[in-house]
C-alpha cells in the first residue's frame, strides 16, 4: 500500500479528466479545477465530465471546483493540463496559492508564443520553484479513460518529483518511466502534433503504408534535429515521449491532430476543421511557431515548411507530398552520418560531372 498524496489537476478538459480518474483510482484524494462553475457542479453531481468525457465514470473521490485556491490548498502534487494558449495565464492566477514545496508537473504539449517558451520554462519563470516536471507519452485521453494499457514519461531533474509521480500514477494499466531530459520529453510531445496532422492528411489522400512509415521516420529525424538545437538529448526520442507518442498520434483517428489532417486531406478548410473539433489540436499553432523558430535558427525542417504552406498559404495537401519527395536526398540518421557530409559529397560529384 503506497502513501496517499493529495493531488490537484488544473484543467478539466479530456486529458485532465482522464488523469484525475487515474489518480483517484489509485486511492489519492483528487481535486479537479475547471474554469466553469456549472461544469464543476455537474462533475460533482454526476461523477462524470459531461462536456469533455461524458462516458467516463469518475471515482466519487474526484472533487471538482472552479476555485483555484480551494483546488490548490494542501495539494502536494499539482498537474497542469491546460492548452498552451492559456497555460501562462492560469499559472499566473494560481501563483498566489502555490507553495515552493508543492510539485508542479505540466502535461501540456505545445509552446507559448511569446518568446517561444516551453511550459517547463514558464513554470520555472512564474513560480521560481524547484520541484518541476513534465509528463509526456502515448496517452490518448479516450484510451486512458478505458484503462487500455499504456505508459508515460515523467521527466524532471528533481528526484522527488520523478519518484512521487511514478508512485501516484503508476498502476496495472499505466506505467510511468523516468527521464531527466525535460526539454526532450516536452519537445517530443509538442512536435509530434505537427506530424500527426501530416499523417492524417496522407491517410486521407490514400497513401500507402510505405509512405506513412517514411513520413513518421523522417518526422522523427526532423523533430530530433530541432530539439537537439534547443538543448534536448536525442536519445529521449527513442523513448515513449518521442517515438512512442509519434506512433500513436500519427496512426490513430482518436488523435485530434490526426483528425485535423484527415479533414484537410478531404478538402475541408482549416477554419471549418478547427471549429468542428470542439477541443484543442495544438499542432495547428505549433506548425506556425516552429516554422518561425526554424527560420530564425536556420534549422532544416522540410516537413514543417511544407505543412505550413498547406495550413496557412492555401497550398493543396497533394502539393505537400510533392514537395516532400522533391527535397534534397540527405542522411538517414544524422547522429550517425552528419547532413553536412552528405551535402559535401553530393557537391563533389556534381563538380566532377561538370568538369
Ligand X SMILES: O=C(CO)COP(=O)(O)O
Active site residue 348: no
78 vs 284, beta carbon nearer ligand X: 284
86 binds, among ligand X, ligand NAI, none (CB under 5 to 8 A by kind): ligand NAI
Which residues, at least 6 apart from 210, have a Cβ–Cβ distance to it below 8 Å? Answer: none
Q: Is 350 exposed, middle or buried (0-12, 13-18, 19+ CB in 10 A)?
A: exposed
Per-residue HEC secondary structure of 216-230 comes to HHHHHHHHHHHHHHC
Subset of 259-288 contacting ligand NAI (CB under 6 A): 279-280, 282
Under the criterion CB under 6 A, does residue 84 sit at the interface with ligand X?
Answer: no
335 known ligand binder: no
# chain residues binding ligand X, by CB under 6 A: 12
102 binds, among ligand X, ligand NAI, none (CB under 5 to 8 A by kind): none
Long-range contacts of 137-140 (CB under 8 A, 24+ apart): 137/177, 137/189, 137/240, 137/241, 137/244, 137/245, 138/240, 138/244, 138/245, 138/247, 138/248, 138/249, 139/15, 139/18, 139/245, 140/248, 140/249, 140/252, 140/254, 140/255
Write each residue from 144 to 163 as x if it is in contact with ligand X (CB under 6 A), else as -, in one continuous string.
Answer: --------------------
Which residues, at least 6 apart from 280, have a Cβ–Cβ distance to it below 8 Å? Answer: 13, 83, 85, 256
Axis crossing angle, helix 317-326 with helix 302-312, rounded to the nearest 10? 160
# chain residues binding ligand NAI, by CB under 6 A: 26
Q: How far is the CB of 330 from ligand NAI (least distance, A)?
A: 30
Which residues, at least 6 apart from 166, have a Cβ–Cβ distance to it below 8 Å? Answer: 154, 176, 178
Cell triple for 134: 513534465
Q: How far is the CB of 239 from ligand NAI (least distance, A)?
A: 15
Distance (Å) of CA 258 to CA 197, 251, 322: 5, 8, 20
Subset of 39-78 contacting ligand X (CB under 6 A): none
Out of 89, 229, 314, 327, name the contact with ligand NAI by CB under 6 A: 89
Q: Which residue is nearest to ligand NAI (CB)?
A: 13
Asked whether 280 and 83 are in contact (CB, 8 A), the reply is yes
Out of 236, 255, 262, 286, name the contact with ligand X by CB under 6 A: 255
Catalytic residue among 192, 268, 344, 348: 192
Under the criterion CB under 6 A, does residue 216 sit at the interface with ligand X?
Answer: no
Under the criterion CB under 6 A, does residue 27 sit at the interface with ligand NAI?
Answer: no
Under the criterion CB under 6 A, does residue 245 sit at the interface with ligand X?
Answer: yes
Span interacting with ligand X, options 157-165, 180-188, 243-251, 294-302, rule CB under 6 A: 243-251
25 vs 334, beta carbon nearer ligand NAI: 25
63 binds, among ligand NAI, ligand X, none (CB under 5 to 8 A by kind): none
Under the criterion CB under 6 A, does residue 90 sit at the interface with ligand NAI?
Answer: yes
Tell me which residue of 190, 188, 180 sits closest to 113, measured CA to CA: 190
248 binds, among ligand X, ligand NAI, none (CB under 5 to 8 A by kind): ligand X
Cite the active site residues.
192
Amino acid at each position: 500500500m503506497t502513501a496517499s498524496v493529495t493531488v490537484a489537476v488544473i484543467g478539466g478538459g479530456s486529458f485532465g479528466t482522464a488523469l484525475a480518474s487515474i489518480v483517484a483510482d489509485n486511492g489519492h484524494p483528487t481535486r479537479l479545477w475547471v474554469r466553469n462553475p456549472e461544469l464543476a457542479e455537474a462533475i460533482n453531481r454526476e461523477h462524470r465530465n459531461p462536456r469533455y468525457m461524458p462516458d467516463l465514470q469518475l471515482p466519487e473521490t474526484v472533487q471538482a471546483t472552479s476555485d483555484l485556491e480551494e483546488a490548490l490548498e494542501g495539494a502536494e502534487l499539482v498537474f497542469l493540463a491546460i492548452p498552451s494558449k492559456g497555460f501562462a495565464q492560469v499559472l499566473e492566477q494560481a501563483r498566489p496559492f502555490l507553495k515552493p514545496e508543492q510539485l508542479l508537473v505540466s502535461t501540456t504539449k505545445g509552446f507559448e508564443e511569446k518568446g517561444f517558451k516551453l511550459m517547463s520554462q514558464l513554470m520555472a519563470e512564474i513560480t521560481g520553484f524547484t520541484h518541476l516536471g513534465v509528463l509526456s507519452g502515448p496517452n490518448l485521453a479516450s484510451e486512458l479513460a478505458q484503462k487500455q494499457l499504456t505508459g508515460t514519461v515523467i521527466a524532471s531533474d528533481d528526484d522527488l518529483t520523478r519518484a512521487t509521480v511514478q508512485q501516484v500514477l503508476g498502476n496495472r494499466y499505466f506505467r510511468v518511466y523516468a527521464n531527466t531530459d525535460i526539454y526532450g520529453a516536452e519537445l517530443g510531445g509538442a512536435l509530434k502534433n505537427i506530424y500527426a496532422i501530416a499523417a492524417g492528411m496522407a491517410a486521407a489522400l490514400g497513401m500507402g503504408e510505405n509512405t506513412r512509415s517514411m513520413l513518421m521516420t523522417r518526422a522523427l529525424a526532423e523533430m530530433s534535429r530541432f530539439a537537439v538545437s534547443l538543448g534536448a538529448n536525442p536519445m529521449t526520442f527513442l523513448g515513449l515521449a518521442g517515438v512512442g507518442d509519434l506512433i500513436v498520434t500519427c496512426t490513430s483517428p482518436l488523435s485530434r491532430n490526426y483528425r485535423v489532417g484527415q479533414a484537410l486531406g478531404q478538402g475541408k478548410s482549416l477554419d471549418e476543421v478547427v471549429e468542428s473539433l470542439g477541443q484543442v489540436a495544438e499542432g495547428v499553432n505549433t506548425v506556425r511557431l516552429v516554422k518561425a523558430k526554424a527560420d530564425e535558427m536556420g534549422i532544416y525542417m522540410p516537413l514543417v515548411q511544407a505543412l505550413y504552406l498547406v495550413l496557412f498559404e492555401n497550398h493543396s495537401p497533394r502539393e505537400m507530398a510533392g514537395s516532400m519527395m522533391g527535397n534534397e536526398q540527405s542522411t538517414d540518421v544524422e547522429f550517425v552520418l552528419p547532413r553536412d557530409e552528405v551535402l559535401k559529397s553530393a557537391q563533389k560529384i556534381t563538380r566532377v560531372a561538370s568538369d
